[in-house]
A and B are shown apart, each in its own frame.
Chain A
Amino acid sequence: MGAPRHGGTRVRWLLGAAAFPALFLGLVLGMAELPEFGDPGSPASTHVSPRFIEDAAAETGAANMVTAVLADYRGYDTLGETAVIFAAGLGCLVILAAAGGRPNRPAAGMSHPFGSVILDAATRILVPVVLLFAVYVLIHGHISPGGGFQGGVLFGSGLIMMRLVWGPAHAGDGQQPEVPAFGPSLRGSLILACAGILGYAGIGLAAMAFGGEFLNYGTLPLGSDPAHVRELATLGIEAAVFLTVAGTVGVLFDTISIGMRESGVPLGSERGPRE
């Protein structure tokens, strides 16, 4: 937007101005070469989709074909996606910690107890429902739309609701009073996220240990029916994704609320009247 002020900025601005149209043009040309949306003659429609539609339920025991593809046939891709989410949480933590945020110190405003009886009562009613529904979405993902990602986000938002209303856990340090824990601390959220992604990779490695390929669950010693074994392993994968997403949502909320205080962004509760 603004005019470049000195040499280095101008070079960078010009490079950016040149790179953006080139990238855009490349993407547009690439898009033009893709098969038409829903083209019945495209490779995806003639080879891949019929195979999944005909065999997925019998092979994986998952009535929801999307779950079968995401967590079983293409489990490697989903491991990558889960790692990306985990990396986003870690990146937020590292950047905001480098900017001066100190872990396990709550900010005022965004994570300070809100102190309202109405909110307190409503949260007591709503949070258990939200958390239960999150687990339902996770487990029911086998049959209906849902799964680890969606359930994890729901679970994480339940944790955020508790944080917003009751404040995070932290030890008193003289200036701030000790606040009891509701839900996992920042460290706890981080451990949840790590446990999720390690569990995902661990299930894949376990399949290797029992003689299969990485993330090929058929060989796991969980029963004699291969479809049932795959169903159980898929649930394990979904639970691992659930833990990673829920933990990352907690990490994101905590680091952002801490970073906001440390960066000097004015927070409402410090200016207005307080009860």
Chain B
Amino acid sequence: MAASTLTEGFAILLLAAGLFFILAAVIGILRLPDFFTRLHAMGKCDTAGLSLSLLGLALLADDLAVTVKLVLVLALVAVANPTATHALARAASRAGVKVWRPDEPAGPAGER
């Protein structure tokens, strides 16, 4: 009983940490000034948040098959998410998307 309570507590801690990172990603996408900085927030915080949440859910799952599936999803996300971020950033860089500088105004005009 004590072990399962400990597992549950640890899982809740992981879930809370995951939700914190996802919240940080959302705030980053809304508040950061240009494409690259937004991508930076999304790529890092989404991967961390999703990984931690999935790890917490895997600990909470009753069925071993569910745990294994969640760990597989975790592995997939850990490879696919950073790769997608890299591909987006590379494509934007090649397409000539301008990088934001602190002395330029942010917003739609500064986004190009």
Tell me the A residues contacting B by CB distance below 8 Å: 114, 116, 118-119, 122-123, 125-126, 129, 268-269, 271-274
Name which residue of chain B comes closest to A122, CB basis: B83
In contact, A118 and B86 (Cβ under 8 angstroms): yes
B94 to chain A, nearest CB (A): 4
Name which residue of chain A comes closest to B87, CB basis: A119
Interface residues on B, range: 10 to 19
Which residues of chain A come closer than 8 Å to B86, judged between CB atoms?
116, 118-119
Question: Could you tell me the distance between the alpha carbons of A126 and B96 in the complex, rounded to whole angstroms?
Answer: 28
A257 to chain B, nearest CB (A): 14
In contact, B79 and A116 (Cβ under 8 angstroms): no
**Count of chain A to chain B residue pairs whose CB atoms are closer than 8 Å in the complex:** 37
In contact, A271 and B90 (Cβ under 8 angstroms): no
Name which residue of chain A comes closest to B72, CB basis: A129
Which residues of chain B come closer than 8 Å to A274, judged between CB atoms?
94
In contact, A129 and B76 (Cβ under 8 angstroms): yes
Which residues of chain B come closer than 8 Å to A129, judged between CB atoms?
76
Q: For the complex, would chain B's binding face be called helix, strand, loop or mixed by DSSP majority?
A: helix
B44 to chain A, nearest CB (A): 15
In contact, B80 and A122 (Cβ under 8 angstroms): yes
B88 to chain A, nearest CB (A): 11
Question: Could you tell me the distance between the alpha carbons of A118 and B96 in the complex, rounded to whole angstroms?
Answer: 20
In contact, A268 and B80 (Cβ under 8 angstroms): no
List 26 contacting pairs A-B, 8 Å CB cutoff, sorted by A: A114-B87, A114-B90, A116-B87, A118-B83, A118-B86, A119-B83, A119-B86, A119-B87, A119-B90, A122-B80, A125-B79, A126-B76, A126-B79, A126-B83, A268-B91, A268-B94, A268-B96, A269-B94, A269-B95, A271-B94, A271-B95, A271-B96, A272-B93, A272-B94, A272-B96, A274-B94
Tell me the B residues contacting A by CB distance below 8 Å: 76, 79-80, 83, 86-87, 90-91, 93-96
**18 further contact pairs, Cβ within 8 A, besides A114-B90, A268-B95, A268-B96:** A114-B87, A116-B86, A116-B90, A119-B83, A122-B79, A122-B80, A125-B79, A126-B79, A126-B80, A129-B76, A268-B91, A269-B94, A271-B95, A271-B96, A272-B93, A272-B95, A273-B93, A273-B94
A71 to chain B, nearest CB (A): 26
Name which residue of chain A comes closest to B93, CB basis: A272
A119 to chain B, nearest CB (A): 6
Which residues of chain B come closer than 8 Å to A119, judged between CB atoms?
83, 86-87, 90
Which residues of chain B come closer than 8 Å to A268, judged between CB atoms?
91, 94-96
Question: Could you tell me the distance between the alpha carbons of A108 and B38 in the complex, rounded to whole angstroms?
Answer: 27
Question: Could you tell me the distance between the alpha carbons of A75 and B9 in the complex, rounded to whole angstroms?
Answer: 51
**8 nearest A-B residue pairs (beta carbon):** A268-B95, A272-B94, A122-B83, A272-B96, A118-B86, A269-B94, A271-B96, A272-B95
Question: Could you tell me the distance between the alpha carbons of A272 and B87 in the complex, rounded to whole angstroms?
Answer: 15
Name which residue of chain B comes closest to A116, CB basis: B90
Question: Could you tell me the distance between the alpha carbons of A273 and B92 in the complex, rounded to whole angstroms?
Answer: 11
